[in-house]
């Protein structure tokens, strides 16, 4: 299997709800990073997981959390959704922490 | 801490003309620098990267960039624009080899006129 697959592609949630976004990485990709890309801006680093452990976090509150699984899939969970959480969420994976990352096409989250 | 500034949120060129997209960085240590391209409704694709080797870096699709420490710049160029180059371009910086923790600029939208 090649590429990074994210699901769903689009999602609409109500303020205060919780959401789970999913990412399926290539086999052997032990590192996954999640980014938030607001409209008209560049991606902002949320956090990174390496071998199922968090390996660094950007300037995001604790209501943003993640999981990485042994089958190279991962999740981004966001609790207590706010309107400003509306964005494109990207995951990117790599076999190691160095080198080039492969990005998925993203999940477009709209909070109303 | 590191940061990236992309000068010009929109750049328009004619097909066949030179493409120049500007990126300036701020970093307390020698940086690793990247250029990515994003087409509508897609993720980011790596064009090229600077990792402290040669200062002139060649990437895919005919793009190249030159690292200039004295100017803290990493501008992206392509000698002759194609219609297919129309997209959004992002410059990114990281302080170490971990490109998964990059800081991105706000992007430059490139329009190519026929």
Q: How far is B48 from chain A (nearest CA, A)?
A: 9
| B1 pLDDT higher than 80 | no
Give the mean model confidence (pLDDT) for residues A56-85: 96
Q: Is residue A66 pLDDT above 90, yes or no?
A: yes
Q: What is the pLDDT of residue A4?
A: 92
Are the C-beta atoms of B49 and B63 separated by less than 8 Å?
no
Q: Would the pLDDT of A1 be above 70?
A: no
- What is d(CA B96, CA B103) in angstroms, rounded to the nearest whole number? 12
The residue-averaged pLDDT of A62-70 equals 96
CA distance B6 to chain A (A): 10
Subunit contact B41:A105, Cβ cutoff 8 A: yes
CB atoms within 10 A of CB A70: 8
Percent of chain A with pLDDT over 90: 84
- pLDDT tens across A79-104, in order? 999 999 999 999 999 877 777 788 99
Contacts of B39 (CB under 8 A, 6+ apart): B45, B87, B88
Among the partner-chain residues A44, A56, A103, the one whose CB lies closest to the CB of B44 is: A103
Determine the 3-state secondary structure of A82 from DSSP.
Answer: coil
Res A15 pLDDT > 50: yes
Other C-beta atoms closer than 10 Å to the C-beta of A39 total: 8
The pLDDT tens digits of the residues spanning B19-41 come to 999 999 998 788 889 999 999 87
Q: CB-based contacts of B15: which residues, under 8 Å, 6+ apart?
A: B81, B82, B83, B112, B113, B114
Cα distances (angstroms) measured from residue A59 to each of A62, A64, A99: 10, 10, 23
Best of B23, B25, B43, B106 to substitute, by most chain A Cβ atoms within 10 angstroms, is: B43
The arithmetic mean of pLDDT across residues A54-71, rounded, is 95
- Residues in chain B within 8 Å Cβ distance of A53: none
Statement: residue A56 has pLDDT above 60 = yes
CA nearest to B31, candidates B78, B97, B80, B89: B97
Q: Encode pLDDT of B60-108 as tens digits.
A: 999 999 999 999 999 999 999 999 999 999 999 987 777 788 899 999 9
Residues of chain A contacting B4 with CB distance shorter than 8 Å = 42
Mean pLDDT for A38-55 is 93
Is B114 part of the contact surface with chain A (CB cutoff 8 Å)?
Answer: no
């Amino acid at each position: 299997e090649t590429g990074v697959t994210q699901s769903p592609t689009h999602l609409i949630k109500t303020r205060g709800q919780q959401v789970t976004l999913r990412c399926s990485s290539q086999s052997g990709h032990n590192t996954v990073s999640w980014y938030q890309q607001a409209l008209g801006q560049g991606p902002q680093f949320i956090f990174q997981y390496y071998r199922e452990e968090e390996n660094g976090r950007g300037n995001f509150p604790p209501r943003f959390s993640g999981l990485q699984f042994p089958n190279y899939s991962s999740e981004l969970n966001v609790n207590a959704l706010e309107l400003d959480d509306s964005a494109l969420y990207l995951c990117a994976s790599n076999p190691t922490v160095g080198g080039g990352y492969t990005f998925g096409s993203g999940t477009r989250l709209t909070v109303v | 801490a590191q940061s990236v500034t992309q000068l010009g949120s929109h750049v328009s060129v004619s097909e066949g003309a030179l493409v120049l997209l500007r990126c300036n960085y701020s970093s307390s240590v020698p940086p690793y620098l990247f250029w990515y391209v994003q087409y509508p409704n897609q993720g980011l694709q790596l064009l090229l990267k600077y990792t402290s080797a040669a200062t002139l870096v060649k990437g895919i699709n005919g793009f190249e960039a030159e690292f200039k420490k004295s100017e803290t710049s990493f501008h992206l160029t392509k000698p002759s624009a194609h219609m297919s180059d129309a997209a959004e371009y992002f410059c990114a910086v990281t302080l170490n080899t971990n490109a998964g923790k990059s800081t991105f600029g706000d992007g430059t939208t490139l329009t190519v006129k026929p």
